[in-house]
Amino acid sequence: MTPQIAPSLLAANFYDLKPQLEAVKAAGASVLHIDVMDGMFVPNISVGIPVIESLAKTSGMTLDVHLMINNPDRYIKAFAEAGGDWLTVHYEAVPVNELRGLLAEIRDMGLKAGLSVKPDTDTDVIEDYAELCDLILIMTVPPGFGGQHYDPDGNARIARVRAILDKKNPGCILSVDGGIDRHTIAGAHRAGADLFVAGSAVFGEPDAGEAVKELLSIL
């Protein structure tokens, strides 16, 4: 996969959203990362199905929906019908005996199936599911909060997962989320990531489009 920036909606100004999305699209970002939080799997609550529906109709971007929620199986169909293109569930939120079936269900709907792991989850667990995934999302910070600093151990975790994917599913997208900015993106790329979720480093800058261009120029 050609390296891409996925601006994170969580950091955007919702009062003035349309020009921000137009700016990042014009700068080369075609994927929009959307964090869905339920206040239980993570402490915060964020956007839900109505927002996905609106973005699917108007954004013209691929919607990368990151489900930071408990029991995501209850909502897979609803998020698919709302217009999500990629649905990523957390390893920690799904019983092990149900995870393979859930990933298959997402794919059967014609969507890309993603699997994410928290920073304190051993990345070796991915080996059992790599062939069922279109995307693996490595969290380098605890999920649920924007603006956190990149964990230097993240690059080693990315490299371990890249090795797993090279062996089991080379076409799988390897995404990284948490503290990605102009100082950390190059190391994450060298470690093997090819999709970079960036919130504050894009929407926290005076010109979101220029921020995307700068990040892309580093890759």
Q: Which of 38, 64, 134, 177 is catalytic?
A: 177
177 among known catalytic residues = yes
Catalytic residue among 16, 35, 38, 64: 35
- Following DSSP, what letter does each residue of the chain receive, concatenated? ---EEEEBGGGS-GGGHHHHHHHHHHTT--EEEEEEEBSSSSS-B---HHHHHHHHHHT-SEEEEEEE-SSGGGTHHHHHHHT-SEEEEEGGGS-HHHHHHHHHHHHHTTSEEEEEE-TTS-GGGGGGTGGG-SEEEEESS-TT-SSPPPPTTHHHHHHHHHHHHHHH-TTSEEEEESS-STTTHHHHHHHT--EEEESHHHHTSS-HHHHHHHHHHH-
Residues with a known catalytic role: 35, 177
